Amino acid sequence: LTFPLLSVTLLVSFGSSMLYGYNLAVVNSPAVHIKAFYNATWSQRYGHGLASGPLTLLYSLTVSIFALGGLVGSLLVGVLVERYGRNGALSRSALLVLLAGGFMGFSQELGSPEMVIIGRSITGLHSGRWSLGCGAVHCPFLTAWSPAAHFQGDGEDFILPAATGSVVGNLRGFLGLMPTLFICLGVFFAQVLGLPELLGEDRFWPLFLSVVVIPASLQLLLLHCFPESPRYLLIERNDVCGATKALCRFLGTPDVQDVIEEMKEEQRSLSSVEMVSVWQLLRDRSVRWQTLSVVVVNAGMQLSGIDAIWFYTNAIFENAGIPVSQIPYTTVGTGTIEVVAGLIGCFTIEKLGRRPLIITGFCAMGICSAGITVSLLLQTTLPWMHYVSVTCVVGIIAGFCMGPAGVPFLMTAELFTQSHRPAAYIVGGSLNWLCNFTVGFIFPFLQMSAGAFCYLVFCGICLLVALYVYLVVPETKNKTFMEISHIFA
């Protein structure tokens, strides 16, 4: 990797995936302080505080509204990229984060819980660009400077465009999981900043929520130092000169004619392909098993319970009997293991393949979810069960980061041809955000009603998804679409 290419890769990852991970975990640590602020504001306005149920409802909305914003953002990303280009789409998304940071940062001073909720929804709007952005904004920055991957099979010759994160050789799987690694880093930084010695105190929670403006500002300032994606310039804007200059800068060599010719071939290939709509994809019987696999894996990824862990880690540890003073440090410890698991996934995906990682990940999550239930039921008689709870939470996070976190996005690209891929990303991304909202909103109520048994719901989902992948989904590593299609048939 040349220095310019490495720099822009880190910049985009820092301002996109890492920011997404930070926003997932940032509401965990200050939950008590935010609830106290809501209760105090309500008391000032109406003369009485909020009951437990309405307060939980209001806080659940604050947590889960992030996912509704993400759903809207994921559906708008294609329009933004087409109109403003990769750099333009990223810059405008960064402006949204600055606006959201302002809302959340001044919410306590102005006595407005509504500003926190609005700010969370706007950060979701920005992060929504990430989920479909893996196919439209983020991965192109990570992969647009590599030659396109040519696949041949059964009389067909097609080229995976950069928008799917297709890279020849071992980089395809590695770069496909790079966003996952930066999500883990974002979660970890949120956990570290939430320590009592840093921003975990009552008076600092608005600042804690608005820290998102720092990476967004850096991305906004530095993006203008880099040219547009070469493939975007040539394929979508037909700017051969601009694409040549961008390639020369990123690859550090004036000899880029071979890559330009490859992009032109990709442009001709794309121009001959008629893209299908979401409705056409759902009705297309030739790819029904691929579509069903995208639905099952993407929905299972969010319904696995990982969002409950990220959103409500402190509450889970508190219910498990961990002393309150030790919870922030225990949470940081889980974040460290999370980053290590993400690294393991990145460096093993091309050796082990997609199926082993995703099956093992879901199985580990299911077993650990059941383990949490058992430990909670036995903690009154066996005090050491507290440590079993922590170990199971760590197991859920590690299992998720090694496979289910990033493999579904990569598999979506590999299960479909160019004509079906955008619609498949829309289906998978929309399900992702809807399930994210569902878990974030209902988990506190599920925990109150079912107690320790609430984790058995996640256990069942994880094991069923693992079984489905084992029985239905083939290994996609180093296989063409036609080979994958024949295996499904």
CA dist 113 and 366 (Å) reads: 36
Q: What is the pLDDT of residue 469?
A: 92
CA dist 102 and 100 (Å) reads: 5
Q: Which domain holds residue 293?
A: 276-488
CB 126 within 8 A of CB 134: no
Average pLDDT, integer, range 274-290: 85
Q: What pLDDT band is residue 105 in, cutting at 50, 70 and 90?
A: very high
CA atoms within 13 A on the CB side of 447: 22
Cβ density class 229-240: b for 16+ within 10 Å, e for less: bbbbbbbbeebe
SS3 call for 300: helix
Between residues 452 and 144, which one has the greater pLDDT? 452
CA dist 392 and 367 (Å) reads: 8
Q: What is the pLDDT of residue 78?
A: 65
Residue 255 resides in a domain: no
Count of residues in the chain: 489
Q: Are residues 354 and 476 in the same domain?
A: yes
Residue 266 resides in a domain: no
CA dist 20 and 18 (Å) reads: 5
Residue 264 resides in a domain: no
Query: What one-character DSSP code corresponds to residue 161?
Result: -
CATH code, 291: 1.20.1250.20
Residue 215 resides in a domain: yes
| Domain boundary pick from 191, 209, 226 | 226
Q: Are residues 337 and 435 in the same domain?
A: yes
The helix or strand, by DSSP H or E, that contains position 56, with its residue range, turns out to be helix 52-105
Of the chain, the percentage scoring pLDDT greater than 70 comes to: 82
> Virtual CA dihedral for 30, 198, 396, 349, nearest 10 degrees?
130
Q: Are residues 471 and 385 in the same domain?
A: yes
Domain count, the chain: 2
- pLDDT of 359 higher than 80: yes
Residue 55: partners with Cβ closer than 8 Å, 6 or more residues away: 35, 38, 39
Q: What is the pLDDT of residue 223?
A: 74
Q: Are residues 439 and 357 in the same domain?
A: yes
Quote the Cα angle for 391-395-397, to 5°: 120
Determine the straight-line distance between the first and last CA of the chain, rounded to whole angstroms.
40
Cβ density class 356-389: b for 16+ within 10 Å, e for less: bbbbbbbbbbbbbbbbbbbbbeebeeeeebbebb
Name the nearest CA neighbour of 373 among 451, 489, 485. Answer: 451
CA dist 1 and 397 (Å) reads: 30
Between residues 136 and 128, which one has the greater pLDDT? 128
Q: What is the pLDDT of residue 48?
A: 85
Q: Are residues 108 and 172 in the same domain?
A: yes
Between residues 225 and 211, which one has the greater pLDDT? 211
Query: What one-character DSSP code corresponds to residue 479?
Result: -
Q: Are residues 280 and 386 in the same domain?
A: yes
Residue 85 resides in a domain: yes
Tokens coding 468: 């489905």
CA dist 432 and 299 (Å) reads: 6
Average pLDDT, integer, range 230-242: 79
- pLDDT of 159 higher than 60: no
Q: Are residues 320 and 211 in the same domain?
A: no
Residue 175 resides in a domain: yes
Q: Are residues 311 and 185 in the same domain?
A: no
Residue 271 resides in a domain: no
Q: Are residues 335 and 460 in the same domain?
A: yes
Does the reported pTM lie above 0.75? yes
Q: Are residues 325 and 423 in the same domain?
A: yes
One DSSP character per residue, 91-144 reads HHHHHHHHHHHHHHHTTTTTT-HHHHHHHHHHHHHHHHHHHTHHHHTHHHHHHT
Q: Are residues 374 and 482 in the same domain?
A: yes
Distances (CA, A) of 82 to 79, 126, 140, 246, 436: 5, 17, 13, 19, 27
Residue 94 resides in a domain: yes
- pLDDT of 175 higher than 50: yes
Q: Are residues 209 and 280 in the same domain?
A: no
The residue type at 345: G
Q: What pLDDT band is residue 368 in, cutting at 50, 70 and 90?
A: very high
Quote the Cα angle for 134-138-141, to 5°: 130
